[in-house]
């Protein structure tokens, strides 16, 4: 047992170090070409210069948002995969992102954002996500029991319906609205509003804390509902709370940064490969790895074809997918394996 704890601590330190390293690397890298040796003096006496502004007003917010969103999405991925005992579930499978995207599309097409200012887009996205959560939840309740398989299917169907509705809206919208919609759907960590960045960080850290209270329950649930029930877990209550927690984490991430795919699907699997499928450690490793992964991808997206920027979802898909396929061929990924 003690050996295990020591191994876990080593993993946490390793991943924490990686995360810190990637963040610093990301802060130093960019198209403005600030030499690395100038960065230290800049931090202490550079106030008011352009370079200082680039570091702390442009790069730093992106890094922080990357940590928050990457962590939140991976966490939601771990929770849902554990709950559904299905390795292919990711936060977006439940239709939450579709609902958020639909909310944002309606907002843009109805012209609310021109009146409502910069915050109206995230809020409409979040409301859209909440609507879908309510809908999926109420459709999957049967006689007071949350039907897990039904939940998944309903979510997937609602995803499809939402994306068809978005297609419809795009077909009848004006050119300039179309661009707004496409922008948002592509997903990006560019966010001018500090309040939103802080909110995203807060939600993702809180989510981490709450999820950790359920690490035992998740371990039990990944054995199967029957077994969990025999182990004395109140499965119904746990399932509901976990579902809402994962949904809120996803809803917040999507409403701030748009749809960034693949993070919530791949990172939990890497977490399992690294430190095993015990949720006591998996929640932490996935959170740290998710943050590191997204910040790294965003840095690549900013710098690969500078001065042009790629959408970060492109990089998460390519990098995450290739790494994952490579890892799969190297070794079998056991889901929830010990």
Partner 1 sequence: MNKDPIIWVILKAILFFGFCGLSLWFSSKIVDRFNEKIEPFAYPQRIISLGPALTEQLYLLGVEDRLVGCTVYCKKPKEAESKEKVGTIIEVNLEKVVDLKPDLVLATSLTDPKAKEKLKDLGIKVACFPQAKNFSQMCDHFLGLGRLVGKDKEAKKITNSAKDKVAAIKEKVKNLPKPEVFIQIGAKPLFAATGRSFINDFIEFAGGINMAKEAKEGIYSREEVLKKDPEVIIIVTMGIVGEKEKEIWQSYQTLKAVKKGRIYIVDSYQFCSPTPVSFVEALEEMAGLLHPELYPHQTQ
Q: For residues 251 and 236, what is the distance between their CA atoms, to the nearest angstrom?
A: 22
Closer of 163 and 303 to partner 1 (Cβ) = 303
Residue 235: both structure tokens together: 């499965």
Among 120, 198, 231, 335, binds partner 1 (CB under 8 A): 120
**Only segment of 4-12, 35-43, 52-60, 268-276 that touches partner 1 (CB under 8 A):** 52-60
Among 218, 248, 283, 284, binds partner 1 (CB under 8 A): 248
**Only segment of 55-63, 200-208, 275-283, 328-336 that touches partner 1 (CB under 8 A):** 55-63
Among 28, 58, 205, 210, binds partner 1 (CB under 8 A): 58
**Only segment of 140-148, 214-222, 260-268, 274-282 that touches partner 1 (CB under 8 A):** 140-148
Task: Name the residue with tokens 């492109």.
Answer: 314
Closer of 10 and 134 to partner 1 (Cβ) = 134
**Residue 198: burial class (beta carbons within 10 Å; 0-12, 13-18, 19+):** middle
Residues 2-31 contacting partner 1, CB under 8 A:
30-31
CB 266 within 8 A of CB 87: no
Closer of 62 and 272 to partner 1 (Cβ) = 62
329 binds partner 1 (CB under 8 A): no
CB 246 within 8 A of CB 79: yes
111 binds partner 1 (CB under 8 A): no
Taking CA atoms, 195 is separated from 99, 104, 108, 183, in Å, by 23, 19, 21, 21
Residues 170-189 contacting partner 1, CB under 8 A:
171-172, 175-176, 179-180, 183, 188
Residues 59-78 contacting partner 1, CB under 8 A:
59
**Only segment of 76-84, 130-138, 203-211, 218-226 that touches partner 1 (CB under 8 A):** 130-138
Q: Which residues bind partner 1 (CB under 8 A)?
A: 30-33, 50, 53-54, 57-59, 113, 115-120, 123, 126-127, 130, 133-134, 137-138, 141, 143-144, 171-172, 175-176, 179-180, 183, 188, 190-193, 237, 240-241, 244, 248, 302, 306-309
């Amino acid at each position: 047992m003690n050996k295990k704890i020591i191994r876990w601590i080593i993993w946490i330190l390793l991943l924490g170090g990686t995360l810190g390293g990637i963040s610093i690397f990301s802060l130093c890298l960019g198209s403005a070409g600030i030499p690395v040796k100038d960065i230290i003096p800049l931090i202490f006496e550079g106030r008011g210069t352009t370079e200082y502004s680039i570091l702390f007003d442009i790069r730093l917010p992106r890094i922080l948002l990357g940590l928050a969103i990457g962590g939140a999405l991976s966490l939601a991925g771990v929770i849902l995969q554990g709950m559904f005992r299905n390795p292919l579930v990711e936060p977006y499978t439940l239709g939450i992102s579709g609902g958020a995207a639909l909310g944002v599309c309606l907002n843009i097409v109805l012209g609310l954002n021109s009146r409502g200012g910069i915050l109206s887009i995230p809020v409409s996205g979040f409301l859209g996500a909440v609507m879908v959560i309510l809908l999926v939840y109420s459709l999957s309740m049967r006689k007071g029991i949350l039907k897990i398989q039904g939940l998944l299917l309903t979510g997937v169907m609602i995803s499809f319906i939402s994306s068809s509705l978005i297609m419809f809206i795009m077909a009848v919208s004006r050119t300039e609205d179309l661009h707004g919609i496409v922008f948002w759907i592509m997903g990006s960590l560019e966010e001018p509003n500090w309040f939103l960045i802080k909110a995203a960080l807060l939600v993702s850290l809180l989510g981490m804390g709450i999820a950790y209270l359920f690490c035992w329950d998740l371990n039990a649930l990944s054995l199967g509902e029957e077994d969990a029930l025999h182990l004395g877990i109140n499965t119904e209550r746990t399932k509901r709370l976990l579902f809402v927690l994962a949904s809120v984490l996803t809803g917040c991430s999507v409403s701030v940064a748009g749809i960034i795919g693949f993070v919530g699907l791949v990172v939990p699997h890497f977490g399992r490969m690294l430190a095993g499928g015990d949720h006591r450690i998996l929640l932490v490793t996935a959170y740290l790895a998710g943050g590191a992964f997204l910040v790294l991808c965003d840095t690549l997206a900013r710098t690969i074809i500078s001065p042009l920027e790629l959408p970060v979802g492109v990089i998460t898909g390519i990098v995450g997918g290739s790494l994952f396929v490579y890892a799969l061929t190297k070794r079998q990924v056991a889901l929830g394996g010990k």
